[in-house]
Amino acid sequence: MPSDDPHAERILHGSTYERIRYRNAMTGRWSLTRKVRWCGYLLLSGSLLFPILASLPAPVTEGYVGTDPTSAPLGLALSVLLFALLVSAAGVGLLLVSSRAARGEALTEPEAWRLVGIEDACTCLGFVTGAIGLLVTVAVAAVGLFGPDAVDRLVAAGVNPYLTVGVPVTPATASLVAAGAAIALFSLAALAEPVG
């Protein structure tokens, strides 16, 4: 008798990869393409750095950045760029696992375990490390929208949100890379064969 639960069906009658994935993986309930799309959503949140900095009030810009905050080499931009690259790599890793699992070839149990391990590692990198990094960076950038007093309190706590760095990465560049990577992941996820 077939089950109404697609997850139970995969555990009972799915491929070796699906059985192992749904019984043992950390996040087996989400399909691989859904995870890739969520990596794209996280990247879109990182692309908000440019519009946030472009809308900072003049007193914050004058007091903490001194120049146009969208073209200054800020640490926030470097942070968004690095975390965007991490989330992008996680999304590509998930797409590669999806591609391998969708080939239709029978996998041995060790091969299936390896794919599940790679999927879990990419999921952790993208959804834990990358998500926290991008969301915290964007939240710190947005503090200036509440005025100079909010930034003063943050600086008094030891955090200068608009610190310039020696690496020539601007918020415009970081936001463009994050948005481009999001579009690429959305497109690849739409083309990928749904697995799991």
The string of pLDDT tens digits covering residues 136-159 is 999 999 999 999 999 999 999 999
Cα–Cα distance list, 11 to 15, 17, 48, 127 (Å): 8, 10, 40, 25
Quick: pLDDT tens for 173-194. Answer: 999 999 999 999 999 999 886 6
Residue 164 main-chain phi, psi, to 5 deg: -90, 150
| pTM for this model (two decimals) | 0.86
Q: Kindly report the CA angle at 18 between 40 and 192, in degrees rounded to 5? A: 35
Q: Is residue 130 part of a domain?
A: yes
Region class of 158: left (phi > 0), else alpha (psi between -120 and 50), else beta: left
Give the structural domain span for 151: 6-191
Helix axes 75-102, 171-191, angle to 10 degrees: 10
Cα–Cα distance list, 156 to 62, 119, 162 (Å): 18, 41, 14
Residue closest to 32 by CA, chosen among 120, 104, 113 = 120
Q: How many domains does the chain have?
A: 1
Q: Is residue 129 part of a domain?
A: yes
Quick: pLDDT tens for 39-58. Answer: 999 999 999 999 999 999 99
Q: Is residue 196 part of a domain?
A: no
d(CA 64, CA 147) in angstroms, rounded, equals 11
d(CA 140, CA 134) in angstroms, rounded, equals 10
Q: Is residue 143 part of a domain?
A: yes
Q: Is residue 154 part of a domain?
A: yes
Q: Is residue 68 part of a domain?
A: yes
Count of C-beta atoms within a 10 Å radius of residue 75: 17
Q: Is residue 1 part of a domain?
A: no
Q: Is residue 109 part of a domain?
A: yes
Residue 74 main-chain phi, psi, to 5 deg: -90, 150
Residue closest to 39 by CA, chosen among 187, 195, 194, 193 = 187
